[in-house]
Amino acid sequence: MEKLNSVPENKKCVLISPPEFGKYAPRNLLSLVGYLESKGYPSAVIPLSYYLDFDPGYSPETLRAVLADIIDKNDPLVIGVSCMTSDIYSGKRILEICKELNENIVTLMGGIHPT
């Protein structure tokens, strides 16, 4: 029973906002991170537009390199992507790349389209 009350030290959650150029900050993900942090789960919001230098013509190699860097620096157990209908294919690709980089990461998708 004691094991059920313990939290692993490396319980990290990374929430990713797909590249959306000219849009607002991902306030929905910021709210979720606030809740996760209040429950003791170290979390981060990653707005990919920022990390891709707001370049809508980014290459697949650049996306993979950015995601590899995010995974290396955060060592997450969970990666979530928030998607609207217009982001569904890029969100799916982001999660596929994350699994290719580390098959042990739990990936999930939320937001308006999936839910």
Give the tens place of pLDDT for each residue, 67-96: 998 888 888 999 999 988 888 999 999 999
Structure tokens at 43: 């979390």
Q: What pTM does this model have? A: 0.83
Residue with tokens 């004691």: 2
E strand residue ranges, 1-115: 13-17, 43-47, 78-82, 106-110
Of 68, 78, 69, 67, nearest to 13 by C-alpha is 78
Percent over 70 (pLDDT), the chain: 87
Would you place residue 45 in the very low, low, confident or very high pLDDT band (cuts 50, 70, 90)? confident
CA angle in degrees (0–180, nearest 5) for 9-32-80: 70
Tokens of 35: 């809740």
Domains of the chain, start order: 2-110 (3.40.50.280)
Q: For residue 85, how many other CB atoms are within 10 A of its CB?
A: 10
Distance CA 19, CA 47 (A): 7
